[in-house]
């Protein structure tokens, strides 16, 4: 059996060479169209994964009644807003609650060279034992600080925080604004650094919650001045905190706790659930983008198809000569089809790479803005999309190939 | 209206037949019929025992590939392919590789006076291009050579050279040659010249 009974490639190469200018433009156009679809898809998925990952450490959040989104954005993503405080006594109530595996306060309000300073407990710094410092140790005295992976300070450094929450887009620089609001006479020392989490917390400076309270003249939350850090907070009046993160013991406990803390001056929510709601709201926008990208691909492919039909028309004479010197119509079909399929294939591959490059660019931009580490390289869904586009394109390329295949030889020879 | 109405035209195997006549008289149509590129509305086109009119399109393609070689007025080479690959082109209609034939193609091209087989056909002189076209037509040793005004776009000296090649090749291989031409020098060398007038044999 003759498997390879014909070889259209010499003619395909000759055709592509003959129209190399057009070919380059076609590849470019297809690549751009594909890259947009791939980029949007990869980006959207990566954003979803990264934001879900960032919320993993925050099973249940308790804050003052108000905007749920604002609480999540502030506590989980450190897009810090001035949010109202809840009574610090909640911390002790939670500590005593059998449904609670662990609870930790989260307090904001200060910053250092654009990095937010966050007060919490040593236990939450290690995410209740899941994390170990990459260097140094977790704070165990007031005025000690642990750095997120992206904070450009070193262990042993001392710094003075400033009041404010307006983080710079490019942290790491001093600003006049910060100078004006320095907490003079307050100095923290860096004792450790956390590994990279790929979340906005990588750019936070973590200090004991007690130190936050002290810095703002609220006492240390304990009866004794030299009490050990962390719960229980046994002061007569525990200072308020903007948010408490709670790790419930079981799923049922989580729902019970959420119900319990939805009233009495607090609000309780699952950040993951708020995210889902947010996604649903953004889903419409995403659908519009996806449809627009799809429409864009379709229009581009239609244009390429028209071009291919026109080119096949211009090549009628050339193909008629092939037939006159003995080529079966199938050969002409293959030559005409493969030429377009090769261009679309090249465009798809270039588009995948271009989309990957664009995704990486957008990811690093987003990481700079939000601290979310996006794994936004195109994955299987994008590969599937490109494969589908290639399939669609090669299917469309059958049209000019069929025209070439059907073209009568004798009249084709009279053309040109 | 019919383009061509030929009651009967017999061309002995191995003979050289010229086809002359004014423009629009049906010369190209007759040649296309003879080569199986067109099927007659009525009647038959017989080469030996084969009636092209009754073959399936696929069988006609196969017959043409094995039996007929075409030469055109404006050569109709693939300009992006080398002279050698133009000659080898028909091989790729039925086989993946034509490598085994490359040396033979080069030899034939050299015999026809083309000494740069690797050069792109589009870069060759017109005389060279027509030689490559003849090489392509005769490479598979077809029993029938069909040429439509093969010298019309060449200057007189080059035309004479190309005519020599065509005639010499047909004679040496015993091929039947059908040539449409206005060129008296070429027609003079035919065994017989038929004239067409408004689709009729004159
Ligand atoms: N596909 C076609 N449909 C209709 N009429 C056609 C077709 N092809 C050719 N004709 C007509 O048939 C006649 C013969 O055409 P043909 O090309 O065979 O002439 P010719 O003798 O080769 O002319 P020339 O010397 O100009 O090449 C012409 O009147 C032409 O208009
Ligand atoms: Mg003609």
- Domain boundaries along the sequence of chain A: 9-52+277-414, 60-269
Asked if A328's CB is within 8 angstroms of B61's CB, the reply is yes
User: Nearest C-alpha to atom 24 of ligand 1 is from which residue?
Assistant: B23
From A10, A11, A410, residue closest to B37, measured CB to CB: A410
pLDDT digits (tens, 9 = 90+) for A301-332: 888 889 888 888 889 999 999 999 999 999 99
**Rounded average pLDDT over A267-278:** 87
Complex ipTM value:
0.94
* Structure tokens, B165: 């090649």
In a mutational test of the A interface, the residue from B29, B57, B93, B100 whose CB has the highest number of chain A CBs within 10 Å is B93
Using the predicted structure, report yes or no on whether residue A141 has a pLDDT greater than 90.
no
CB distance from A21 to chain B under 8 Å? Answer: no
d(Cα A2, Cα B135) in Å, to the nearest integer?
27
* pLDDT band (50, 70, 90) for residue A291: confident
From B58, B66, B85, residue closest to A328, measured CB to CB: B58
Q: What is the pLDDT of residue A295?
A: 84
- Residues in A touching B121 (Cβ below 8 Å): none
- Residues lining ligand 1, judged by CB closer than 6 Å? A 411; B 3, 21, 23-29
Residues 6+ apart with CB under 8 A from A183: A110, A160, A161, A162, A163, A215
Chain A, window 297-356: residues with a beta carbon less than 8 angstroms from a chain B beta carbon: 317-318, 321-329, 331
pLDDT digits (tens, 9 = 90+) for A329-367: 999 999 999 999 999 999 999 999 998 888 888 888 877
* pLDDT band (50, 70, 90) for residue A101: very high
Q: What is the pLDDT of residue A245?
A: 94
Spell B35-48 as b/e; 16+ CB within 10 A means b: bbbbbeeeeebebe
More confident position, A307 or B2: A307
Question: Which of B18, B27, B38, B201 most suits a substitution to test ligand 1, by most atoms within 8 Å of the C-beta?
Answer: B27
> What DSSP character marks residue B110?
H
* pLDDT band (50, 70, 90) for residue A168: low
**Do the Cβ atoms of A188 and A215 come closer than 8 Å?**
no
For every residue of chain A, which 3-state class applies, written as one string?
CCCCCCCCHHHHHHHHHHCHHHHHHHHHHHHHHHHHHHHHHHHHHHHHHHHHHHHCCCCEEEECCCCHHHHHHHHCCCCCCCCCCECCHHHHHHHHCCCEEEEEEEEEEEEECCEEEEEECHHHHCCCCCCCCCEECCCCCCCEEEECCCCCCCCCCEECCEECCCCCCCCCCCCHHHHHCECCCCCEEEEEECCCCCCHHHHCEEEEHHHHHHHCCCCCCCCCCCCCCCCCCCCCCCCCECEEEEEECCHHHHHHHHHHCCCCCCEEECHHHHHHHHHHHHHHHHHHHHHHHHHHHHHHHHHHHHHHHHHHHHCHHHHHHHHHCCCCHHHHHHHHHHHHHHHHHHHHHHHHHHHHHHHHHHHHHHHHHHCCCCCCCCCHHHHHHHHHHHHHHHHHCHHHHHHHHHCCHHHHHCCC
d(Cα B198, Cα A399) in Å, to the nearest integer?
39
From A2, A14, A325, residue closest to B90, measured CB to CB: A325
pLDDT digits (tens, 9 = 90+) for B73-127: 889 999 999 999 999 999 999 999 999 999 999 999 999 999 999 999 999 999 9
Distance from CA of A416 to the nearest CA of B (A): 10
- What CA–CA distances, in Å, run from B6 to B16, B32, B46? 19, 14, 13
- Residues in B touching A326 (Cβ below 8 Å): 61-62, 64-66, 68, 90, 93
Q: Is B71 helix (H, G, I), strand (E, B) or coil?
A: strand
* pLDDT band (50, 70, 90) for residue A1: very low
End-to-end CA distance of chain B: 18
In a mutational test of the B interface, the residue from A326, A407, A413, A416 whose CB has the highest number of chain B CBs within 10 Å is A326
In a mutational test of the B interface, the residue from A2, A10, A22, A318 whose CB has the highest number of chain B CBs within 10 Å is A10
Count of other CB atoms within 10 angstroms of residue A62: 27
CB distance from A17 to chain B under 8 Å? Answer: yes
Q: Is the omega angle on the peptide bond into residue B60 within 30 degrees of 0, that is, cis?
A: no
Using the predicted structure, report yes or no on whether residue A184 has a pLDDT greater than 80.
no
Question: Which of B18, B26, B183 most suits a substitution to test ligand 1, by most atoms within 8 Å of the C-beta?
Answer: B26
From B70, B85, B92, residue closest to A6, measured CB to CB: B92
**Do the Cβ atoms of A308 and A29 come closer than 8 Å?**
no
* pLDDT band (50, 70, 90) for residue A4: low
């Amino acid at each position: 059996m003759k498997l390879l009974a014909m070889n259209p490639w010499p003619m395909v190469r000759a055709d592509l060479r003959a129209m190399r200018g057009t070919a380059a433009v076609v590849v470019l156009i297809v690549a751009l169209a594909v890259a947009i679809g791939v980029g949007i898809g990869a980006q959207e998925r990566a954003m979803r994964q990264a934001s879900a990952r960032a919320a993993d450490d925050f099973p249940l959040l308790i804050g003052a009644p108000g905007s749920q989104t604002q609480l999540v954005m502030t506590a989980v993503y450190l897009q810090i807003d001035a949010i109202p405080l809840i009574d610090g006594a909640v911390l002790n109530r939670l500590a005593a609650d059998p449904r609670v595996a662990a609870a930790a306060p989260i307090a904001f309000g200060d910053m250092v060279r654009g990095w937010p300073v966050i007060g919490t407990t040593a236990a939450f710094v290690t995410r209740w034992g899941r994390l170990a410092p990459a260097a140094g140790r977790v704070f165990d005295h007031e005025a000690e600080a642990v750095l997120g992976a992206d904070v450009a300070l070193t262990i042993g450094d001392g710094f003075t925080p400033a009041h404010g929450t307006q983080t710079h887009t490019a942290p790491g620089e001093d600003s006049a604004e910060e100078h004006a609001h320095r907490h003079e006479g307050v100095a923290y020392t860096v004792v450790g650094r956390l590994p990279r989490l790929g979340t906005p917390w990588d750019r936070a400076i973590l200090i004991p919650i007690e130190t936050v309270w002290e810095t703002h003249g609220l006492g240390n939350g304990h009866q004794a001045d030299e009490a050990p850090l962390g719960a229980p907070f046994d002061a007569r009046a525990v200072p308020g905190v903007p948010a408490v993160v709670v790790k419930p013991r079981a799923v049922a406990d989580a729902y019970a706790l959420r119900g319990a803390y939805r009233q009495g001056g607090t609000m309780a929510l699952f950040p993951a659930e708020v995210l889902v709601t947010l996604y649903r709201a953004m889903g419409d926008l995403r659908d519009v983008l996806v449809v627009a990208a799809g429409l864009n691909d379709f229009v581009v492919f239609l244009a390429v198809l028209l071009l291919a039909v026109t080119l096949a028309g211009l090549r009628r004479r050339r193909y008629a000569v092939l037939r006159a010197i003995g080529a079966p119509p199938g050969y002409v079909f293959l030559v005409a089809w493969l030429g377009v399929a090769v261009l679309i294939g090249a465009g798809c591959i270039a588009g995948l790479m271009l989309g990957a490059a664009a995704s990486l660019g957008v990811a690093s931009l987003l990481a700079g803005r939000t601290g979310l580490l996006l794994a936004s390289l195109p994955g299987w869904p994008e590969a599937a999309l490109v494969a589908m586009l290639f399939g669609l394109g090669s299917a469309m390329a059958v049209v000019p190939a069929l025209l070439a295949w059907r073209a009568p030889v004798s009249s084709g020879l009279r053309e040109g | 209206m019919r383009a061509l109405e030929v009651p009967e035209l017999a061309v002995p195997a191995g003979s050289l037949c010229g086809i002359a006549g004014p423009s629009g008289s049906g010369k190209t149509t007759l040649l296309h019929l003879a080569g199986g590129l067109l099927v007659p509305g009525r009647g038959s086109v017989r080469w030996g025992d084969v009636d092209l009119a009754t073959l399936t399109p696929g069988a006609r393609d196969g017959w043409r590939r094995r039996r007929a070689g075409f030469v055109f007025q404006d050569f109709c080479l693939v300009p992006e392919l080398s002279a050698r690959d133009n000659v080898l082109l028909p091989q790729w209609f039925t086989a993946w590789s034509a490598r085994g034939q490359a040396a033979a193609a080069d030899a034939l091209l050299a015999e026809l006076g083309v000494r740069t087989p690797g050069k792109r056909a589009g870069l060759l002189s017109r005389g060279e291009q027509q030689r490559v076209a003849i090489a392509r037509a005769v490479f598979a040793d077809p029993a029938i050579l069909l040429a439509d005004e093969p010298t019309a776009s060449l200057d007189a000296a080059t035309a004479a050279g190309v005519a020599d090649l065509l005639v010499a090749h047909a004679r040496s291989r015993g091929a039947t040659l059908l040539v449409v031409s206005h060129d008296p020098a070429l027609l003079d060398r035919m065994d017989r010249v038929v004239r067409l007038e408004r689709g009729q044999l004159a």
